[in-house]
Amino acid sequence: MKRIGVLTSGGDAPGMNAAIRAVVRTAVANGMSVVGFKRGYNGVLMMSENSRDDYEILTKRSVSNTIHRGGTFLMTARCKEFHLPEVQEKAIANMRGLGIEGLVAISGDGTFHGADALNSRGFPVVGVPGTIDNDLPYTDYTIGFDTAVNTALECVDKIRETSDSHERGSLITVMGRDCGDIAINTALACGAEIVLIPEREWSIEETAGRIRWAAMEGKRSTIIIMAEGAMRSLKSDLHALAQKYPELGVTGDAPLSSSKLAALLEKMSGHEIRSTVLGYIQRGGNPSASDRLLGSRLGSHAVQLLRDNQSGLAVGVRDNHLVEVPFAETFGSHRPVNDSLLHLLDTLSTFSS
Ligand code: F6P
């Protein structure tokens, strides 16, 4: 291969720049040139008004001074129409028109479907897992996860100080879409009492009971870490709670907001609870050392596979060894919840006997 393309797509993740840098420098070291597409597949489809804003030739120098920066300098976007066959064919024609023979897609699960489709149509693609969610079970870690957990941890440490001073509980919502990994890891690292995740059923009644118990044990501040997808595994009867506590304005129908959950927990536990949603702060910031290393290793490995005429694969890391698996094997499955980490959380929190 003489020329390859690279893009970032889906939600940005700290460490994506390190991966782009590794793609570019490994390609150049192997005699290939690199085209960087902007805004994911939108750049490949040349959708911006100014065509010069869709892609650029990346040199060793273009990626200088990027390894330590969060976000992605190629920018990112979702491309809803990319599932259409004619759109995929247009993407291939555009890349071939630029002399590009293979593509590295740095992204999450959604983009891998598009990558797989391009590959099935005869255009070689290798995927690099970039998402803070860590929701791709074929790899132990995705690029951005470690930084997101560290950012969440720093925020929770700060919230704990004010909670402790006021003897309040704190319900802190972290990102992760359908995956509880950011929540579990943050909870363990910050010494939280309770974690609520989409992969394990939970109830408001039991959570309120735990808050009461923690207070009886002498805890001044109870920290509850909730994954944003945790409402999916809530087993409480919301209609019954709405009737029991009409003054809280809980409707019983819509998904319960975290502020309403905090109000219910406060009412049912008899302890003041404040809610904080951490939100996009978890996606920004300088990547951690782990994410810079992971981005560098995976980006470089992806280019080596293309160079060796291997494609249709997503790269990852298992037990600290680089792996590559066919795209199809990355689809549809959920990472099994790490029961040993949950057990450890219970042992280390107030709830061990
Ligand atoms: O996939 C990363 C992520 O930040 C999820 O944790 C979150 O659910 C989602 O993206 C938010 O997506 P968007 O920025 O498109 O609203």
**Which of 177, 186, 232 has most ligand 1 atoms within 8 Å of CB, for mutation?**
177
| Total residue length of the chain | 353
Residue given tokens 């979702």 in the structure block: 78
As a whole number of angstroms, the distance between CA 142 and CA 159 comes to: 27
Residues 6+ apart with CB under 8 A from 193: 210, 211, 214, 219, 222, 223, 224, 349, 350, 351
User: Is the distance from the beta carbon of residue 330 to the nearest atom of ligand 1 less than 6 Å?
Assistant: no
Q: Are 126 and 102 in contact (CB under 8 A)?
A: yes
pLDDT > 90 in the chain, percent: 91
CATH 3.40.50.460 in the chain is located at 148-283
Cα of 187 from ligand 1 centre, angstroms: 20
CATH number for the domain formed by residue range(s) 3-144+287-330:
3.40.50.450
**Which of 12, 111, 133, 145 has most ligand 1 atoms within 8 Å of CB, for mutation?**
133
Ligand 1: nearest atom to the Cα of 108: 1
Q: Are 94 and 46 in contact (CB under 8 A)?
A: yes
User: Is the distance from the beta carbon of residue 183 to the nearest atom of ligand 1 less than 6 Å?
Assistant: no
User: Is the distance from the beta carbon of residue 54 to the nearest atom of ligand 1 less than 6 Å?
Assistant: no
Per-residue pLDDT, averaged over 25-34, amounts to 98
User: Is the distance from the beta carbon of residue 133 to the nearest atom of ligand 1 less than 6 Å?
Assistant: yes
pLDDT band at 352 (very low <50, low <70, confident <90, very high): low
Tokens of 144: 């951005």
User: Is the distance from the beta carbon of residue 131 to the nearest atom of ligand 1 less than 6 Å?
Assistant: yes
As a whole number of angstroms, the distance between CA 229 and CA 184 comes to: 13
- Helices H, strands E: what count in the chain? 11, 11
As a whole number of angstroms, the distance between CA 329 and CA 56 comes to: 32
Q: Are 18 and 295 in contact (CB under 8 A)?
A: yes
CATH 3.40.50.450 in the chain is located at 3-144+287-330
Ligand 1: nearest atom to the Cα of 229: 8
Question: Is pLDDT above 60 for 353?
Answer: no
Cα of 41 from ligand 1 centre, angstroms: 18
Cα of 135 from ligand 1 centre, angstroms: 12
176-229: pLDDT as tens digits: 999 999 999 999 999 999 999 999 999 999 999 999 999 998 888 899 999 999
252-296: pLDDT as tens digits: 877 899 999 999 999 999 999 999 999 999 999 999 999 999 999
Q: Give the domain 148-283 fold.
A: Rossmann fold (3.40.50)
Cα of 201 from ligand 1 centre, angstroms: 23
List residues bridging with 173 in a β-sheet.
226, 277
Q: How far is CA 311 from CA 105, 305, 306, 325, 351, in A?
A: 11, 7, 6, 10, 49
